[in-house]
Amino acid sequence: MKIAVCIKQVPSTNKVRMDPVTNTIIRDAKDAVINPYDLFALELAITLRERYGAYVTAFSMGIPATENLLRDAVARGIDCAVLLTDRAFAGADTLATSYTLAKGIASEGKFDLILCGRMAIDGDTAQIGPELAEALGIPHVSGVTEIISLSDRKAVAVRVTDSASETLEAELPALFTVQKDINIPRMPSIAGIRKSLTAGFTLKNAADIGADPRRLGLDGSPTQVVRTFVPQADKVSETIAGTAAQKTARLLEIIGEAKK
């Protein structure tokens, strides 16, 4: 039983602001962390490894420094890690990224189950999971909260939708994207950290994974950002001021109006 987990490096904070004076973008911190949703996928993979003796490989597409994240994943208990890194991957939208991940995973053999976090907190699109499943030609389930059982050919999982809790059976190989807060990600153990310091990582570039260069990176991305801006709102607001009693009275008036 081989399980692949996809993890993404994201900025530790989403606090990107526009400086009102210079109208420029300021980011408050530069630390990179594992995308929180992927941590839950990682923990799920390690739990399955313990329960079923599965072999777990982590994959990430990123800059060379992403190796640190993969070492962190090894320290938490996965078996090995592959970093897909190449200048040609830069600027990829979700289509080019999912293509790259698919070629990378395929280059490492056949996997029974692929796990991904449901979405990345910097992109928020939740598109990679389904697009990756399509690129690999396998079925997918989004928003899994629990895996009840795993065998060579099938997996039984639970996902919670708006209206119901569904128990589904998927034929393997399949891809699941996992919701957050479904488990408590374990911390790296001392033994794990020691192992991660000397663990070998596989670094693969575009040629190693046999990727078609036209489908990579910026050129392989059908979508393109043409403009970023701070939205200008033109609402004219009435200020509520005065004594505490006056403010309260005005608020009650407004509430009363709405309840009519």
Partner 1 sequence: MSGLIISPELCRGCALCISACAAGALSVRDGKAVADPALCTLCGICAQSCIFGAITVQKSDSTEKAPDSSGVWVFCEQAAGRFLPVTYELIGKGRALAQNLAVPLTAVAAGYGLYGEAGSLSAAGADRVLLCDAAHLASRSEGPYADALYVLIEARRPDIFLFGATEFGRSLAPRLAARCRTGLTADCTALETDPESGLLYQTRPAFGGNLMATIVTRNARPQMVTVRPGVFATPAAASGAEAIIEVIKPPETPDFIRLIESQPLQKGFSIADADVIISVGRGIGSKKNLGLVYKLAELIGASVGVSRPLVDMGWCDYTHQIGQTGLSVSPKLLLACGISGAIQHLAGIGGAGTVVAINSDPDAQIFSVADYRLVGDCTEILSALIDAVSKNTEE
Which has the closest alpha carbon to 58: 47, 70, 68, 46? Answer: 70
Q: Does 80 bind partner 1 (CB under 8 A)?
A: no
Stretch that binds partner 1, among 41-49, 75-83, 166-174, 182-190 (CB under 8 A): 166-174
Asked if residues 20 and 36 have their Cβ atoms less than 8 Å apart, the reply is: no
When binding is defined by CB under 8 A, the residue of 184, 187, 190, 255 that contacts partner 1 is: 255
Q: Does 240 bind partner 1 (CB under 8 A)?
A: yes
- Cα 75 to Cα 80, 150, 192, distances in angstroms: 10, 24, 4
Stretch that binds partner 1, among 45-53, 76-84, 197-205, 223-231 (CB under 8 A): 223-231
130 φ, ψ (degrees, to nearest 5): -60, -35
Q: Does 251 bind partner 1 (CB under 8 A)?
A: yes
Q: Does 38 bind partner 1 (CB under 8 A)?
A: no
Q: Does 226 bind partner 1 (CB under 8 A)?
A: yes
Which has the closest alpha carbon to 3: 39, 48, 35, 37? Answer: 48
**Rounded Cα–Cα distance for residues 234 and 247 (Å):** 24
When binding is defined by CB under 8 A, the residue of 93, 101, 113, 182 that contacts partner 1 is: 93
When binding is defined by CB under 8 A, the residue of 170, 178, 182, 211 that contacts partner 1 is: 170
State which of positions 110-129 bind partner 1 (CB under 8 A): 119, 121-129
The answer, yes or no, to whether the previous bond of 173 is cis (omega within 30 of 0) is yes
State which of positions 128-147 bind partner 1 (CB under 8 A): 128-131, 133-135, 138-143
How many of the chain's residues bind partner 1 (CB under 8 A)? Answer: 96
Residue that the structure tokens 């911190």 belong to: 29
Classified as helix, coil or strand, 130 is: helix
Residue that the structure tokens 């699109």 belong to: 125
Residue number with CB closer to partner 1 (53 or 137):
137
- Least separation in angstroms between CB 18 and partner 1: 6
**Cα within 13 Å of Cα(73), Cβ side:** 37
State which of positions 145-164 bind partner 1 (CB under 8 A): 156, 160-164
- Cα 143 to Cα 78, 126, 182, 256, distances in angstroms: 22, 10, 10, 41
137 is written with which tokens?
């030609």
State which of positions 45-74 bind partner 1 (CB under 8 A): 62-65
When binding is defined by CB under 8 A, the residue of 35, 94, 145, 196 that contacts partner 1 is: 94
State which of positions 177-206 bind partner 1 (CB under 8 A): none
